[in-house]
Structure 1
Amino acid sequence: MFTRLGVAVPILSVTDDTHLTLAYAWPGATAAGAAYAIALENSNAADIVDLNRTLSRVLVTLSLVGVHPNASGTIAERDAIVLTSDDEGFFFLHAEIGIAFAFYRWSGTAWEGPFPVADAAAGGPVSSIAPGTGIAIDNTNPAIPVVKLANMANATVKGRTTAGTGAPEDLSMTQLDLLQIAAGKKRERLTASRTYFVRTDGSNGNTGLVNNAGGAFLTLQKAIDVVKTLDLGGFGVTIQVGAGTYTAGVNVNAPFVGGLVSVVGDAITPANVIISTTSSSCITVSGGGSALSVSGLKLQTTTSGQCLWATNKGQITVDGKMDFGACAGGHILADNDAAVTINANYNITGSASKHWWAEAYGLVACVGKTITITGTPAFGTQFANAFGGFINVPVNTFSGSATGSRYNAALNGTINTNNAGTSYLPGSAAGTGTNPSVTPFGLYN
C-alpha cells in the first residue's frame, strides 16, 4: 500500500527500486520529491517478505558461487568492523586455516549466522570428493576433508617417466634411478662389467656400447669422461680401442668411482693401435686416487710430451704388451709421488729423451720383464733418469741395443738393478750417480 498525507492506494506492481505502478490513479496532488510510505497491509504480504529473506539465507548456505562477501577474516576481525542499520545485508566470510568456511550477515543491529558454505568450488558446486587410484579421502569432518596418498603395497612413487598431461604413474625405484641419472642427479651404478668401444670411424654422439661406426666413440677421452660419471660398483670397465691412428691423447685427472678401468688395444700387435700426439702427452694420469691400466697400444709424440705420464700421485699400470715409439720427451715418466708399474713384456721401437724417468718421489717399477729393442733407438739424456725419484728395475732381460748414456741418479734419486752392473741398462755410454755423497748425489746399484 502506497500512502501520503493520509491518502492510500494499493500497489499493483514494482518495476525496480525507483518505479512502481499503482492499482489506480493517484487521487491526491502531484508532487516531486515528497515524502511517502509503503505499508504491509496484510499477513500474506508480510509472509512473502519473510520468505524472500529466508530464501536469501538458504542460498548463502548452498554455495559460494555468485556470492561475494564484503569482507573476510577471523571472528575477531569481523567484530572489529563498525556497522550501522544502514549496512543491513553486509556479508562477512569467516575464513581461517583449519576451520570450515562460514558466512555471517549483518541484520542492521546484529550478526546473523553462521551460515555454512557447502561444497564450494571455483568452477561451480561439487557434490562430493571421491578417492581415486592411489588417493585416499578422510571424511571424518565433512567440512574439512583430508586428501592423501593411499598406502602402497609396492615400493613406488607417483610421477611420470616422460613429460605430459596424463595421469601420474607408479614409478619403480629402477625407473626413478633412470630419471635421476638422465637429469645428472645420480651416477649410474653398474651391475656387471662393461666395455666401451673407440674407433676411428666412431662418433662421440654414440653410446660407445656397440663395436661399429654407429655405436662406438671417436675419441678415447670421450670414453674416459663417460666412465667418470659412473659408479662402477666393484666391477671393471674396459675401453677397447680399435685399429688405426688417434691424434688426441687422454687425460685422467680424477679417480674413477668403485672399480678399475683398462684401456686395451691390440694385445698381439700393439703397433696396430697408435696414439700419436703433437705437443702433448699420449696418456696422462694425475691426482690422488686416479689410476689407469693400459695395454696393446703404440705410443709416440712429436715436438713435446711423454708417452706415459703419471703425476701428482696418479698411477699407471702396464698390464699387457706395449710399443714405445719415437717420443719428444720421455717414454715413461712418474713424478710428484706418482707411480708407473710395468707388469708385462714390451717393445721399444723409437728414440726418446729418456726411457725410464722418475722425479720428485716418483716411482717407475719394472721387474723381471723382457724388453725388446728394435732399430737401435737413441736416448738423448739417459735411458734411466732418477732425479729425486726411484727406479726399481732388477732382473729384466733386454733384447737389442740403444745409444746414449745408460743412467743418471741425482738429488737422492735411486736406480735399483740389484747390483747388475754399470753396463746392465741399454746404451752406449757410462752413467752418472753411483755415490749419494758425491755430485750428482744419487745412487745406482
Structure 2
Amino acid sequence: MTAQTMDRTPSTQVKALAPIAWKFPIVYTILALVSLIFFGLIGRDGETTFRVATGGDFFAIPDFAVSSTAAGLTLGIILVIMAAASIYVSVKRIDLGSWFPMLFGVIFVLSFLAWAGGGSGGVIPLTTLLAGALALSVPLIFGAMCGLVGERSGIINIAIEGQLLAGAFLAAVVASVVKNPYAGLLAAPIAGALVAVVLTFFAVKYWVNQIIIGVVLNVLVVGVTSFLYSTVLTQDPGLWNSRQKLPNLPIPLLSDIPVLGRVLFDQNILVYIMYVVVIALQIFVFRSKWGLRMRAVGEHPKAADTVGIKVNFTRVRNTLLAGAIAGLGGAFFTVGSGLAFGKEMSAGQGYIALAAMILGKWNPKGALFAALLFGFSKSLGNTLQSIGTPVANELLLMLPYIVTVFAVAGFVGRVRPPAAEGVPYVK
C-alpha cells in the first residue's frame, strides 16, 4: 500500500472541527470595556463603602471602603484579562464550564456597585442585597419548578402567572380568616392545583391549544381575584384580608455564619420548603422511576404507552403537582412576606419564571440559578434606589425585565424543549 493510499484510509482522516462560538467572548469583551472605561477611566470620584456584618454574627466583619475609580480600574483590568482568556479558549475550543461566567458576572457587578456608590458616599449593604435577592427569587423558583414539571410531562403551562396569583389570594384569605399564616400556607397549593385542573381538562380531554388555555386562565384568575378583592376583601379587610406573616425560623449555629447565615438560614418555612423542592426535583427528575416516566411522556408518548405507561394520566397528575408547587410560590406574596392581598400582585412574575425555566434548560438546578439572577437584578434595583445613584429610576424598575430579555435572547442559545411538549396524545 502506497503512502498516498494510506493517507486516504478512514483511520487517518482528520475530523472537522466544530465552529468557534464567538457569542460569549464578544459579550465578555463588551462588558469588560464598559467596566474599564465607564467605571474606571471616566468613573465617579469618591468612595463606596461595602457593609457585610449584621447583628448576631459569630464574628463581625468591619465595613470596608474603596475608591470608586481605583476599584473600577482594577476590576476592569481583571475583566479585560478574563475576556482575552475567553477568546483564547474559544479558539482552542475549550469548555470552561459554568464557573467562568459566574465569576465574570460577580466581578462586573462589584465594579458596577463601586461606581454606583461613589460620589454620593453610598453604603452598599451586601448582606441585605443578597437576602433581598433570595426573597424576591422565591416565587420565581417555585414558578420555574412548576413549569419544568409540566413541560417535562408534555403540557405547556403559560398559566403559572394565574397559579401564583391564585395561591397568593387563597393563602391571604384563609390565613386571615383562621388568623394563622400556616393555614394560608396549606391552602395555597390547593389554589394552584385548581387552576391546573382547568388547564388539564381542556388540554388533555379536548385537545385545546395549551398556550391559548394558559393565557385565558391568567386573565380569568386576574378577573376573579380582582372582583373578589373589590367586592369582598375590601368590605371587611379585618376578616378577609388582614396581614398574617410566617415567622422566621433561624437554624441554630448556621444562622450566625456571617453573610450566608442571614441569607440562607434565617428564613421562614416557605423558603426552606423551596430548598427541599429544588433538591428533590433535581434528584427525582433524573434518578427515579417517576422522573423517567415523566420525561418519557414528554419526549415520546407513544413509546411510553407501548411499555405500559398511562400517558394522559401521568400528564394530568404531574400538572396538578406542578400547579400545587406554583401555589406555594404565590403564598410568598402574602403570608410569606406579611402582606395583605392586592390586585394583580404577582405582577408578571409567572412569565419571568417561564423565562427562568427556559434559561435553565428545563433543569431544576439551571432554573434555580436563572431565577436567582432575576431576583438579584430586582434587589439590586431596589438597593440602588435607596442609596441614590446616577442611574434613572425608570431604568432601575426595568432592570429585571431587561435582564430577562437579554438572558433568554442572548445567553440561553439553542435549547431543545421536550419533543412532545404541547402535543396532545391520542391513544
TM-score (normalizing by structure 1): 0.17
Higher relative contact order structure (alpha carbons within 8 Å, sequence separation ≥ 6): 2
Larger % of helix: which?
2
Q: Which has the higher Rg, Structure 1 or Structure 2? A: 1
TM-score (normalizing by structure 2): 0.17
